[in-house]
Amino acid sequence: MSAVGLRMVNIQKSFPGIQALKGVDLEAYAGEALAVIGANGAGKSTLMNVLGGVLRPDSGEIYIHDEPAEIHSPLDAARYGIAFVHQEMAMLPTLTIAENMFISTFPTQAGLIDYRTTNEQSAQALARLGCDFPPGTRVSHLSPGDRQIVEIARGLLIHPKIIIFDEPTSSLTRREKARLFDVIAGLKTEGVTVIYITHFLDEVFSVCERAYVLRNGETVGGGMIKDLTYQGIVQMMIGAKEVTSYFGQKADQAGELALKVEGLTRSGVLQDIGFELHKGEVLGLWGLLGSGRTELLRAIIGLDPIDNGKIMVRDHGNLKPIQPKDAMNWIGMLTENRRDEGLLLPMSVKSNISLANLRGLVTNFWPLVNAGLETTLAEKFVNRLAIKTSGLNQPVATLSGGNQQKVVVGRWLERNPTIFFMDEPMRGLDVGAKAEIRTIITELAQSGTAVLVVSSEIEEIMSVSNRYLVMHRGRITGELPGTADKDELVAAAAGNR
């Protein structure tokens, strides 16, 4: 029976306005890999940041090999033998592998760096992982998978007892993934406790012995992998609550074709995407994190480049092919991070709403925005969308999340787009705001707009969609009718296993 390498007891952590961890318990065994699974916002990162010393918990204890551990900083974590391989790799591209590994611990001789020793030790560390990269290679020449090996090698320098992998396979090729799994297997035989954070379930089943599922800051389930099923895990991830039926009937409302995409490919991210979107329907783009849904939307409207593909929109009765950079003439876009890419925070509600339509507000010869028209426009949407604000001039930064979201919606509505993309429109909103957005989406569809909604929350997407498209790893893997029930959706998201 292996020893308990790590035990976290009743870890709680809250931030202003939100309780990220509500008392999480976790046990990981030496020589085994523990999967920590959960959707975005479930608390995985917070938990790992506590373990890594980046955050201090409000309460709770940590035991490493049954010894209590006080981890107040990343340095402490390192001292306790905890190594962290982050998702965004901590690499310095123009420096060499060896330099990256020893950047703060260079062996020196008379003030100068002893490169021979540095390179030797790097080579040894890499060799432990079965790699023979020359230590003098610039990191910028390495693929993400190779960089990851270097990062792991760096982590292993401290001879860790515990090693945490945060979403390690997002940018790996198949070969590199296999190599990673070999490395993990090797670590396990050396008695290291491996913690594996991911949302790719197939990996969980091939790499880990145990799993814990987090949701909303709590452990909702877990156990030995051999006792779990895909469906079971996905169910735990997205919540087993019964979906209440406050969304209306979803008869397939297939109006005429508004958008048609064929063969959309972006190397490494999207593969041969093709689908149709009809007027008056709400198409739910469904899938787990990392399936490429956001990337798809961004590629279509030209925010990201594409390598191949055809996009056609209905314009004056005919389907015509368009360039992504012109897509915004027909497609409205609600991005998933309204604060970074949606809103101009210091500007007023009125200015934010009118931003996409300024040309239309110019009435006469002068290029001046007609203040009256602008106010009317803003008022129209404040009323129609029930945006709660103390006044049209209120800076948008001080609105609540739901109202902020409505401002962005209002901005696009004025342009009367035939197509509307919404990426996680209800994320971060409270129950009431979600309902309002939901209503807006349904009304939009009813008025003839073609709506495509991306969501990772099953209730959200079920509450608005007439039809579903399922994505997995950059591909469309299935299509489901609006009448599909939760289990079918769950199964589809899990990759139909």
Partner 1 sequence: MIKKFNLQDFLMSYGFTIIFALVLIFFALGTENFLTINNILTVLANAAPWLVMATGLALVIMTGSIDISIGSILFLALALGNSLMLYRGLPVAIGIPLVFLIGALLGSLNGLLIVVVGINPLITTMGMMFALRGLALWLTSGLVQNIPPALQQFGRIGLFKEFIILTAAVILVLVHLLVTRTTFGRHVMAIGNNAEVAARLGVRVKRVRFLTYVMSGLMVCVGGTLQIMQISNVHPRLGQGYEFTAIAAAVVGGISLFGGEGSIIPGLVMGGLTLVIVENGLTHLGVSPYVYPFVRGGIIFLAMYADAMKSRVMARVHVTKDEELTTASA
Partner 2 sequence: MSTAQKSDTHSIAEGGRRGRVITRDRILAILPIAILLVVLVILGISTPNFMTTRNIVNVLEQSSALALLAVGMTAVLVGGGIDLSLPANLALAGVVGALFMRGGGNPFVAALIMIASGTLVGAVNGYSVAYFRMIPFVVTLAVQFIAVGAATWLTESVSIANLPMSFVNTVQFRLSRMPVHVLMVAFLTLVFYVLFRYSFFGRWLYAVGINARAARISGVPAQRVIFGTYAFAGMTAGLAAVITVGRLMSASALMAGENAVLDVISSAVVGGVSIYGGVGNPLGAALGALLITLISNSMNMLRVSYYLTLVLKGVFIIVFIWLNSLRRK
388 binds partner 2 (CB under 8 A): yes
Q: Count other Cβ atoms within 10 Å, centred on residue 178.
A: 11
Candidates 294, 354, 389, 465; binder of partner 2 (CB under 8 A) is 354
**What are the structure tokens assigned to 301, written together?**
């409207």
Select the span of 73-81, 271-279, 357-365, 488-496 touching partner 2 (CB under 8 A): 357-365
Candidates 99, 166, 423, 460; binder of partner 1 (CB under 8 A) is 99
216 binds partner 1 (CB under 8 A): no
Q: Could you say which of partner 2, partner 1, none residue 175 binds, taking C-beta under 5 to 8 angstroms by partner kind?
A: partner 1
Q: Which is nearer to partner 2, 122 or 294 (CB)?
A: 294
Report the alpha-carbon angle 300-306-307, nearest 5: 140
User: Which of 41, 12, 40, 39 minimizes the C-alpha distance to 26?
Assistant: 12
Report the alpha-carbon angle 278-284-288, nearest 5: 145
φ, ψ at 345 (rounded to 5°): -55, -45
Q: Which is nearer to partner 2, 232 or 401 (CB)?
A: 401
| DSSP character string of 31-100 | TSEEEEEE-TTSSHHHHHHHHTTSS--SEEEEEETTEE----SHHHHHHTTEEEE-SS----TTSBHHHH
339 binds partner 2 (CB under 8 A): yes
**Residues 6 or more apart from 39 whose CB is under 8 A from it?**
199, 215, 237, 238, 288, 289, 456, 457
Q: Could you say which of partner 2, partner 1, none residue 133 binds, taking C-beta under 5 to 8 angstroms by partner kind?
A: partner 1
Q: Which is nearer to partner 2, 85 or 361 (CB)?
A: 361
The mark string for 8-47 relative to partner 2 (x by CB under 8 A, - otherwise) is -------xxxx-----------------------------
The mark string for 389-408 relative to partner 2 (x by CB under 8 A, - otherwise) is --------xxxxxxx-----
Task: Report the side by side order of strands in the sheet with 193-198.
Answer: 82-85, 162-166, 193-198, 33-38, 210-215, 218-224
Q: Which is nearer to partner 2, 236 or 429 (CB)?
A: 429
Q: Could you say which of partner 1, partner 2, none residue 240 binds, taking C-beta under 5 to 8 angstroms by partner kind?
A: none
- Angular region, 222: left φ>0, alpha ψ -120 to 50, beta rest: left
**Least distance between partner 1 and beta carbon 145 (Å):** 8
115 binds partner 1 (CB under 8 A): yes
The mark string for 137-176 relative to partner 1 (x by CB under 8 A, - otherwise) is x--xxxxx-x----------------------x-xxxxx-
Q: Pick out residues in 426-485 that bind partner 1 (CB under 8 A).
A: 472-475, 477
- Angular region, 386: left φ>0, alpha ψ -120 to 50, beta rest: left
Residue 300 burial by Cβ neighbours in a 10 Å radius (0-12, 13-18, 19+): buried
Q: Which is nearer to partner 1, 74 or 395 (CB)?
A: 74
Select the span of 106-114, 273-281, 423-431, 450-458 touching partner 1 (CB under 8 A): 106-114
Token look-up 């329907």 returns 281
Distances (CA, A) of 291 to 200, 252, 277: 9, 25, 19
Contacts of 109-116 with CB under 8 Å at 24 or more apart are none
Q: Which is nearer to partner 2, 157 or 355 (CB)?
A: 355
CA atoms of 54 and 46, how far apart (whole Å): 9
Q: Which is nearer to partner 2, 246 or 366 (CB)?
A: 366
Distances (CA, A) of 183 to 127, 129, 148, 155, 189: 11, 6, 11, 13, 10
229 binds partner 1 (CB under 8 A): no
Q: Count other Cβ atoms within 10 Å, centred on residue 52.
A: 22
Q: Which is nearer to partner 2, 149 or 437 (CB)?
A: 437
Q: Could you say which of partner 1, partner 2, none residue 303 binds, taking C-beta under 5 to 8 angstroms by partner kind?
A: partner 2
**Least distance between partner 1 and beta carbon 112 (Å):** 5
Which of helix, strand or coil describes residue 269? Answer: coil
* Footprint of partner 2 (CB under 8 A): 15-18, 303, 328, 333, 335, 339-347, 351, 354-356, 358-359, 361-362, 366-369, 371, 388, 397-403, 411, 428-433
Task: Kindly list the residues in this chain that would bind partner 1 in the complex (CB under 8 A).
Answer: 74, 90-95, 99, 103-106, 108, 111-113, 115, 133-134, 137, 140-144, 146, 169, 171-175, 177, 202, 267-269, 271, 472-475, 477, 495-496
